[in-house]
Structure 1
């Protein structure tokens, strides 16, 4: 039987989602849990596929994975979570067709970038974001991967203010390596007055204009959704979600306290 899972994780402290030798990764922890529970023997032999990859320090709310198992009764969130660290948890599962491929089968993905918005003109960022919507060549907004096609279609960009923070949601048919983080950099350059909309339009014409962009920091980026053409009948695990909320509360409290401590470490001018 082929099983799909929705996985969430805090990427801080991990060298990305994709398994690598000698470093801690999200997949490395998932593989260890699945094999220790004897849900799969070898992930590759079980046809393990994920919906994509995230870089070092990037988070996910809804990374979709799928694999074959002859023990579907064990391939459920609360069982798998018993072998995962607190920063990684499964929260929904589904039985899927034997040929289900969470990466190639996806029709769109949505990412959210959260940043401090205190020093940017949000109206300028909103206006500039409209230029990027649609089908374009995003060669100037990615880290090159050989001869990979750099044309993508951004379906929508939503920019919202929440207190002192700004949230930028970007949904596209698919994304290039570092594409979201470089788009965020470009939008903040316009929002701070360093560049204008004419420059941004030029950046979408890489055959005539080429300029490198730094990536925005990874800690603000989260993979929010992966969408498929056919609805998947997900079963959410209430216990796993409740437990994750408890962990999040502990995590949030700790970081709020640390923010206050750090504020006290520097003498006021």
Structure 2
């Protein structure tokens, strides 16, 4: 029986999960829509690890919003010895891959034992000023009450470290903290983007951080979800070991990358066809 498989586990195991979050309605399992956690738990059911629900000791590093992707999402639970990353991935869709694992202590908790999380946002800003973006991030770094940048009413005080670099038309914004309130990363990016593009002044940040409450036109809307990736979750005492699953995971996402680069070239042709001076294209 499925419960017997879980009972034979010799230790709790942590698994790193990479996923393309765009097809999913976020990470957390929901009853009527497909989520990343939903397909993970369905896979464990199909593999006979559980009959339904979650395995003993199950926890995840965090919840990503709908459309957000991950490299280092982490789940941990009491697992049978044979459940290596390849076996876990065998019942998962191509968009979700288990690529490494680690044996951890019996009291390990994937949420509470994480000391730091890093998100990376790929901000399309060909005309954005990296110096203004860096100055904005410097203002947002350190310990602040980010209550105007999240719908959460508790847990809004966070200590944030930041970085930004340019990669072609993109500003790559990295945000690191012990944890993040809901939508905080995407609303932080909205503020940084507005400053980098010259749409708002740096003084805006002081108001966002200091005002009792900002709403309506003064409020900060979250940036789009799909350019955001959970790139790291830190467990200081855990050593993840990779196997052939790493190469297979890389190959699957490289195939997606090539396909989408090809599609981007096609749409670039469509957009460029209507540049000024194109002339009559009826022939």
Question: Which runs of no fewer than 5 residues in structure 1 stay unpaired?
Answer: none
Superposed displacement of residue 122, structure 1: 1.1
Superposed displacement of residue 234, structure 1: 1.3
Note if 1:39 corresponds to 2:49: yes
Note if 1:118 corresponds to 2:126: yes
Note if 1:62 corresponds to 2:68: no
Q: 1:79 to 1:45 in 2, by over 3 A?
A: closer
Q: Is the 8 A contact 1:48 1:68 kept in 2?
A: yes
Superposed displacement of residue 119, structure 1: 2.2
1:114-193 alignment, distance < 5 Å: 114-142=122-150, 144-145=151-152, 147-154=153-160, 156-193=161-198
Which of residues 11, 19, 27 in structure 2 aligns to 1:9? 19
Question: Which runs of no fewer than 5 residues in structure 2 stay unpaired?
Answer: 1-10, 277-283
**Whole-angstrom CA distance in 1 between matches of 2:75 and 2:39:** 13
Q: Return the TM-score normalized by structure 2.
A: 0.88
Match for residue 262 of structure 1? Answer: 267
Kindly provide the CA deviation profile for residues 168-202 of structure 1, in whole angstroms up to 9, marking residues without a partner as x.
Answer: 01101110101011001001111112211121022
**Whole-angstrom CA distance in 2 between matches of 1:55 and 1:243:** 26
Q: Is the 8 A contact 1:139 1:206 kept in 2?
A: no
Q: 1:19 aligns to what SS in structure 2?
A: coil
Ranges of 4+ aligned residues in structure 1 off by more than 6 Å = none
1:239-250 alignment, distance < 5 Å: 239-250=244-255
Q: Is the 8 A contact 1:203 1:209 kept in 2?
A: yes
**Whole-angstrom CA distance in 1 between matches of 2:247 and 2:213:** 52
**Whole-angstrom CA distance in 2 between matches of 1:192 and 1:38:** 52
1:90-105 alignment, distance < 5 Å: 90-105=98-113
Superposed displacement of residue 43, structure 1: 4.1
Q: Is the 8 A contact 1:117 1:161 kept in 2?
A: no
Q: Is the 8 A contact 2:125 2:197 kept in 1?
A: no
Q: Return the TM-score normalized by structure 1.
A: 0.93
